[in-house]
């Protein structure tokens, strides 16, 4: 149990930092946000920032992890089938993550976008490898890359609804994990 009571001042300061980072991100590109920007908006001392986070990348990392995890938990529980329906949900959760986090940044051209991509793919890899009940991450990883790639493709064109697009992509995605999936069925 992590019952180590945290000093209320630390909680307050951390919240001030994360809040002002959120606020800055709504109208400024991550790469052009300085630590000074964050701390002066938060009305805290710059030195204090560094006693909470190593640098702004860690801050972004921590916040992304939290937010992405939060959205993922809303969408998935641990005992589901890896089928078309689930793939649709994966596309939708990525979409929601982008809606919530990409207020003003474009994918692939800044650090923040890269971090999101990395974390989302990792989250999906974990879910998939867990559902496949295997420690071998290879197929799960390829699956997540393919799925994320498909999503980016959809974002660029977005001719179909996300759900229709997901259905089209589903079969190819399921092919990737076909072997493991069959093994799992044999065992059952």
Partner DNA sequence: CCATATTTGTTGCTTAAGCAACACTTACTA
Partner DNA sequence: TAGTAAGTGTTGCTTAAGCAACAAATATGG
CB 16, min distance to a copy of itself, A:
9
The smaller minimum CB distance to a copy of itself, of residues 46 and 130, is found at 46
Q: Which of DNA, a copy of itself, none lies near 46, with the C-beta cut-off 5 to 8 A by kind? A: DNA
> Applying CB under 8 A, which part among 40-48, 58-66, 79-87, 165-173 lies near a copy of itself?
40-48
- Burial class from Cβ neighbours inside 10 Å (0-12, 13-18, 19+) for residue 15 reads exposed
The nearer residue to DNA, 49 or 151, going by C-beta atoms, is 49
159 contact choice in a copy of itself, DNA, none (CB below 5 to 8 Å, kind-dependent): none
Sorted by sequence, the CB contacts under 8 Å of residue 134 that are 6+ apart come out as 140, 180
48 binds, among DNA, a copy of itself, none (CB under 5 to 8 A by kind): DNA
- 23 is a site residue for a copy of itself (CB under 8 A): no
> What's the closest the beta carbon of residue 33 comes to a copy of itself, in angstroms?
21
36 binds a copy of itself (CB under 8 A): no
- State how far the alpha carbon of 71 is from the alpha carbons of 75, 77, 98, in Å: 7, 12, 11
Smallest distance from the beta carbon of 23 to DNA, in angstroms? 17
Give the range of 37-45, 64-72, 95-103, 161-169 binding a copy of itself by CB under 8 A. Answer: 37-45
Phi then psi for residue 66, to 5 deg, are -60, -55
Rounded Cα gap, residues 149 and 136, in angstroms: 21
Helices in the chain by DSSP H: which ranges? Answer: 8-25, 35-42, 46-50, 56-75, 84-101, 111-131, 138-157, 162-176, 178-187
């Amino acid at each position: 149990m992590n019952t180590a009571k945290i000093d209320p001042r630390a909680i307050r300061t951390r919240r001030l930092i994360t809040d002002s980072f959120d606020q800055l991100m709504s109208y400024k590109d991550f790469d052009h946000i300085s630590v000074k920007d964050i701390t002066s908006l938060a009305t805290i001392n710059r030195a204090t920032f560094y006693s909470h986070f190593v640098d702004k990348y860690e801050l972004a990392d921590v916040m992304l992890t939290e937010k992405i995890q939060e959205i993922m938990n809303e969408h998935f529980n641990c005992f589901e089938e890896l089928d078309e329906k689930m793939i649709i949900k994966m596309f939708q959760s990525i979409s929601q993550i982008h809606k919530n986090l990409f207020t003003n940044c474009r994918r692939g051209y800044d650090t923040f976008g890269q971090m999101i991509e990395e974390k989302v793919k990792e989250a999906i890899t974990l879910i998939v490898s867990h559902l496949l009940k295997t420690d071998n991450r290879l197929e799960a990883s390829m699956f997540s890359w393919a799925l994320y790639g498909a999503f980016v493709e959809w974002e660029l064109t977005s001719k179909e609804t996300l759900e229709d697009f997901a259905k089209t992509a589903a079969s190819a995605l399921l092919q990737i994990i076909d072997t493991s999936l069959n093994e799992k069925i044999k065992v059952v």
